[in-house]
Amino acid sequence: MSTPPHAGTATRIACAIVPEFALAVSRRLDAPAPGQPLALVEERGQGGVVRAVDAAAREAGVRLGQSAARARARCPALCCRPWRPERLAEAARALAGMLHEAAPLVVPADDEAPGTFWIDAQGLGRLGGEPALARRLVKVAKREGYPTLRIGVADSAVAARAAALAAGPPVRLVPPGGDAAFLGGLSLEALQLPEDIAESFALLGLRSVADLHALPEGPLLDRFGPAARALLDRALGHDARRPTGRPPEAPPEVGLTLDQPVDQTEALLFGLRGLLDRLAARLLARGLAASRLALRLALDDRSDVERVVEPARPLQHPGLLFELLRDRLERFSLEAPVVELRVVVLEAVPALAEQAHLGVAGRDTAALEAALHRLRGRFGDGTVVRPRPADDPRPEASGRWEPVADVPLAPYGAFVEPHPGSSFGTKPREGPALEGGTPRVEPRAVFRLLPACRPLEARFDAAGLPRAVRWGEAWRPVRVRGPERLSGGWWTGSGYAREDYRLLLPEGAVLWASRDARKGEWQLLGWMD
């Protein structure tokens, strides 16, 4: 925002505001369940602190500054997502780019809260005027996942902002020349007073902008100095701020309209390949990499289908983009043949230079990423996982599967011997205990879990222990070994107290069963191998 040379001439400015922008971004990107109370939690030390709450959570008693544990105690259904302020600016830029479809100039308001945009609303008479502009903006925002967008249009930025935030309908148009009258009916909060001045005004009994208008200018300037001058100007709707600057470029988008409807996946894949080559060239020309894409298909029955994809890391390479999208395209269940294929970059970030590890014993990161994208695209995002330890004595909970979202860029072969004949290579570090060049591993049995633990089908003896169990299709006699008593978790609200047993079958199989010490119920958890 700056003061243009023509400041003071008649202008029209629109202000678009996404209330609670951080929550809206989280709701859009983190996808909590619809209607579920949402809170954003900032990790601090061992716990978390609530930084933002939506209306449902607020109604349930969750407050800003509470610890995450207390907030969950207040509202058991609360969905906690991490507080990530760094992505707000990126999301604002992306939304500004999309709103640019509806208005000639849209810029994020750097001097306002994230999620506020200034829009040039002048000279739109032939495009339906200001009501049509507001409708277009709301429609685009809804499409992009921001259904709560509020619009205010006025002669000045301060009045437009106040109109957007005023209670009532989401769109408010202040007539030309009506800023001072509109602002006069509002409370002083609409002027964004500094905290000390707001306190002073409250002590003086000033509540509304009209009260400020009624005061004589001289004593006010004597009491509050130059700051009062700016306030008085704002109160009368004199605000030099205008949307200026270069409008954000729309994210790259490529499309292919087919000569005739196509229902064969191979033909669509062929078209997709060409599209992605063009898209990659555009990304490269602008130094960008796509971090979120949408694959949109227009069908012959006039319906549209869309799938949004987020790669493991921002992509620019056409081959990797193709691997990312090909399986998504194959998994579309289409009701009608396709007439148009479109790939839209929803979010892009500056492409980073990639370090190539020439001569180092490592694997091709790009190929691994392609495999990851293919597996996730074909079988779901949670298909590829890696084990992580967890602090729990129960065997089935002593680790957790963490979805693999990216591929390490650095060579991961820290212990790999240098390639013979090469002067390069990683320096072998002192590794785990070696025995004649072979890492020593203590052999031990491992647990195999049933996909879902199920009640143990058993016949019990007088002591209440199983003497025969149903394993497969037949009843087998068993010898019981145990119990191994495990209890804990009472401090988390999900306490357990159980007795684990090993059930030895005649043919040598060892089943792993558990008896709930409080309810007496038996569960078959798995076997050992």
Partner 1 sequence: MISERVHELLRSTRPQPPASAPLVTGVSEVDRLLGAEGVPVGRITEWVGAASCGKTGVLRGLVLSARRRGLAVAYVDAGRTLAAGDWADEAPGLLWVVRPPRPADAPDCAEILLRACGFDLVVLDGAPPLADALGVRLQRLARRAAAALVVVRDARARPSGGPVTTRLAFTAVIETPAVPLVWRVEATRDRGAPSPPGRFFLTEPVPDRLATCPPAPDRPATRTRARGAA
Residues between 303 and 322 that touch partner 1 (CB under 8 A): 316-317, 319
Please give the Cα distance from 456 to 479 (Å, whole number).
Answer: 15
Q: Does 35 bind partner 1 (CB under 8 A)?
A: no
Please identify which residue in 77, 204, 250, 390 interacts with partner 1, judged by CB under 8 A: 390
Of 6-14, 29-37, 169-177, 416-424, the window that binds partner 1 (rule: CB under 8 A) is 416-424
Positions in 53-112 near partner 1 (CB under 8 A) = none
Please give the Cα distance from 325 to 265 (Å, whole number).
Answer: 12
Instruction: List the one residue out of 96, 103, 367 whose CA is nearest residue 250.
Output: 96
Rg (CA), the chain: 32
Please identify which residue in 312, 368, 453, 517 interacts with partner 1, judged by CB under 8 A: 368
Looking at the Cβ atoms of 178 and 482, the one nearer to partner 1 is 482
Q: Is 452 helix (H, G, I), strand (E, B) or coil?
A: strand
Of 28-36, 48-56, 178-186, 479-487, the window that binds partner 1 (rule: CB under 8 A) is 479-487
Please identify which residue in 415, 465, 467, 517 interacts with partner 1, judged by CB under 8 A: 415
For residues 165 and 17, the answer to whether their CB atoms sit within 8 Å is yes
Please give the Cα distance from 236 to 248 (Å, whole number).
Answer: 31
Angle between helical axes of 365-379 and 318-331 (0-180°, round to 10): 10
Binding letters toward partner 1, positions 428-467, x by CB under 8 A = ---xx----xxxxx-xxxxxxxxx----------------
Instruction: List the one residue out of 112, 89, 105 whose CA is nearest residue 137.
Output: 105
Positions in 491-520 near partner 1 (CB under 8 A) = 491, 502, 504, 507-510
Element (H, E) at 458: strand 458-460
Of 210-218, 264-272, 297-305, 418-426, the window that binds partner 1 (rule: CB under 8 A) is 418-426
Please identify which residue in 136, 282, 374, 476 interacts with partner 1, judged by CB under 8 A: 374
Looking at the Cβ atoms of 205 and 421, the one nearer to partner 1 is 421
Alpha-carbon torsion, ordered 472, 473, 477, 483, to 10 deg:
40
Looking at the Cβ atoms of 185 and 403, the one nearer to partner 1 is 403
Instruction: List the one residue out of 444, 456, 450, 441 whose CA is nearest residue 529.
Output: 444
φ/ψ of residue 19, rounded to 5:
-60, 145
φ/ψ of residue 496, rounded to 5:
-145, 150
Residue 212 is encoded by which pair of tokens? 């400020």
What single letter denotes the amino acid at residue 3?
T
Least separation in angstroms between residue 367's CB and partner 1 is 5
Residues in the chain: 529
Of 147-155, 158-166, 186-194, 425-433, the window that binds partner 1 (rule: CB under 8 A) is 425-433
Beta strands in 113-194 (DSSP E): 116-120, 150-154, 171-173
Least separation in angstroms between residue 398's CB and partner 1 is 3
Please identify which residue in 331, 385, 406, 460 interacts with partner 1, judged by CB under 8 A: 385
Please give the Cα distance from 346 to 461 (Å, whole number).
Answer: 64
Looking at the Cβ atoms of 210 and 480, the one nearer to partner 1 is 480
Q: Does 221 bind partner 1 (CB under 8 A)?
A: no
Q: Is 344 helix (H, G, I), strand (E, B) or coil?
A: strand
Residue 44 is encoded by which pair of tokens? 């601090």
Please identify which residue in 363, 454, 459, 485 interacts with partner 1, judged by CB under 8 A: 363
Q: Does 167 bind partner 1 (CB under 8 A)?
A: no
Of 118-126, 262-270, 400-408, 455-463, the window that binds partner 1 (rule: CB under 8 A) is 400-408
Please identify which residue in 44, 207, 454, 481 interacts with partner 1, judged by CB under 8 A: 481
For residues 98 and 247, the answer to whether their CB atoms sit within 8 Å is no
Least separation in angstroms between residue 503's CB and partner 1 is 11
Please identify which residue in 220, 256, 361, 465 interacts with partner 1, judged by CB under 8 A: 361
Partner residues linked to 438 by β-bridges: 435
Please give the Cα distance from 273 to 106 (Å, whole number).
Answer: 33
Looking at the Cβ atoms of 180 and 351, the one nearer to partner 1 is 351
Please identify which residue in 47, 175, 185, 488 interacts with partner 1, judged by CB under 8 A: 488
Binding letters toward partner 1, positions 120-139, x by CB under 8 A = --------------------
Least separation in angstroms between residue 513's CB and partner 1 is 13
Looking at the Cβ atoms of 127 and 371, the one nearer to partner 1 is 371
Please identify which residue in 479, 485, 516, 521 interacts with partner 1, judged by CB under 8 A: 479
Least separation in angstroms between residue 504's CB and partner 1 is 6
Please give the Cα distance from 24 to 72 (Å, whole number).
Answer: 20
Residues binding partner 1: number (CB under 8 A): 88
Q: Does 287 bind partner 1 (CB under 8 A)?
A: no
Task: Please enumerate in sequence order all residues whose Cβ is within 8 A of that of 88, keeping only pairs 6 or more positions apart, or say none.
Answer: 21, 22, 25, 114, 115
Please identify which residue in 61, 104, 170, 482 interacts with partner 1, judged by CB under 8 A: 482
What single letter denotes the amino acid at residue 345?
V
Residue 431 is encoded by which pair of tokens? 């590794």
Looking at the Cβ atoms of 65 and 451, the one nearer to partner 1 is 451
Least separation in angstroms between residue 80's CB and partner 1 is 20
Please give the Cα distance from 454 to 460 (Å, whole number).
Answer: 17
